[in-house]
Structure 1
Amino acid sequence: MMKFEIWGLSGSLNTEYEHQMPDAEACLWRRINAFDAACNRFRSDSEISRLNAQGGGVVAISETLENAIDAALVAGEVTGGLCDPTVLPALLALGYDRDYDELRQAKDVHASTPVIPLGLSAIHLDRERHTVELDPRCQLDLGSSAKALIADLVADDVAPTGGVVVEFGGDVAVRGHGPEGNWVIGVSDSLFVSGREPRISLAFGGVATSSIATRTWRVDGREVNHIIDPRTGTNAESVYSTVSVTAASCVLANAFATASLLWSDQAGYHIAQAGWSGRLVRHDGTVEYVGGWPPDEEFSL
């Protein structure tokens, strides 16, 4: 197994056969470097930073940014707009204007008036011409769906040579089997990994965990989180602290896990209606299971 860290996130890569690892690692870093250049809003020279500063107009974009925007639009569409890539102004209003490692250590973060995101209709992606046009004042943050997409793409790239599992910041993409059968995935409710986390067995698809308790910082004396509710323009409030979802892809799992925090009490219904499974943890530690997710004490291969 290979472990790595980038963008303040940890990740891991593992393959069914040892001989797959060199090419798999090279593929992982090619994808990460391409996404860093295209989608990292904290880089002033990134493609998305230039796009956000454009202020409108049709812009030719790279295949990487095109795929990232398309994945974000899919996430938005399947969640009724709750996963909204136009949240950057709202994040900036909450003080998220620097790398997270810097932000969580800052002591002078102040909030400004909440900003309601413009929504999916403000993004005009043309996949035939490989262009995008943003409405005036529309700015994108693709971080959540982009890391899930990286996991999916790397897994797809490696899968022809054997089984593979890619984990990136709580998002997991699985293709094929591990050395001893299905991959066993641990699901954590926090950033601390004890080795005793609940586990599930998976051979294809994606698993993602979203939380309002792990990526937080203080603004004007109160704790806020990184998930923006596009209906209010400020950070999410939910009856759940953490939601994990399995779906056909990591992008879809990430979308439903994130949206479930905003759906709150209706999350189980939406997960089940989509045909996925979920594990939802309330603030008092109560765990709810949806769509065939195995209870923690009943895990088996």
Structure 2
Amino acid sequence: MTSTQAVGRTPKTQVMGILNVTPDSFSDGGSYTAVSDAIARAREIDEAGAAIIDIGGESTRPGADPVSIDEELSRVAPVVERIVDDPDIEATISVDTYKPAVAEAALDAGADIINDQNGLDDPEMRSLVASRDCTVVLMDAVNIPVEPEFTPAADDIVAAVCERLEERVERARSAGVADDQLVLDPGVGFATGPGDDLELIARTDEFSALGYPVLVGASRKSFTNEIVEQPPQERIAPSLAAHLVAAERGADIVRVHDVAETVSALRTAEALWDRRPGAR
């Protein structure tokens, strides 16, 4: 699958299903550390209608311990290989990593997308994705790993994120990464203060105006506690609301834990949006 086939602007927002093969992710850590459990979950994600499965081998939750390259590879590579070889799974495979060695091994194993939470900060990663012509999700984040007390210095968080994303895009292009390889992620939950995540989602159209596909990942994140306080596993409804708003305002992809619910909500909302006066 080429990069232009892996992701792009489509009439409908694509759903990226999260598959964390970690023991310590904030919402589902430890659920899919066994390869057999991860493959079973991948099939569920695919059957629920996800266009993309995003496999992560290192948690970015506050207080998470760093993971070595070897450890991350041991978690991710066998799962990618098994999913790619599974004839029943049709979804595109993405790997969530900022480590070039892990990204290269994932691509060798058959992944199509690299989801880089560090926004191609590493020149080796920029060189790798340019040479492999794969799709790359370029996320804005200045607080990785997440420090809960971190406060961004920005009067307008959306303008600041747009500026940083444009700088990251230019740096990637200078390294030979093509425009059609890039997907932008404003980094909901990373380097934002109270209310800022709501602002990022509400103004998704401003990220879309940069001219690249946009991914929004708000699934089960704690910013929704500013409205209704709930533990992560109970944040399905606020996550759906956030992703529907993002989709209406231009998000091409939403990254979610609750795939079936999101697909159903999105397809219903899209059918309603299509029936608005002047929509056709």
Higher helix residue share: 2
Shorter-normalised TM range: under 0.3
Larger C-alpha radius of gyration, 1 or 2? 1
Relative to the length of structure 2, the TM-score reads 0.25
Relative to the length of structure 1, the TM-score reads 0.24
Higher strand residue share: 1
